Amino acid sequence: MKLARMLKAARVLDRWERRAEDINHSIIAIFKCIATILVVCHWLDCFWMFVAVAGSSDERDSWVYAGGYTNADMWDQYVMCIYWVRAACFPF
């Protein structure tokens, strides 16, 4: 379902490119690059949470339990996923 939305979004972007002849194409390329990075980071965040929740037979082995996020709401867990994925992928 989400893949279909992504494909539709790509078609919408292509349509915007054709209609926006007066917009600098480098701005559109930068927008596409940023959007791609954000989508890939979201996927990595979701995968990081999936590995923490489903990857271990004992929930005490995950970063969610070690950090005390077992009772935290989903938003706090997602923010921690963002932090840890960024720290692991971009350690500078």
Average pLDDT score, the chain:
78
What digits encode the pLDDT tens for the residues 21-53?
666 778 878 988 999 988 888 898 888 888 877
Q: pLDDT tier at 11 (50, 70, 90 boundaries)? A: confident
Q: Which residues contact 62 (CB under 8 A, 6 or more apart)?
A: 52, 53, 55, 56
SS3 77: helix
State the pLDDT at residue 80.
Answer: 84
* Residue owning tokens 């791609």: 36
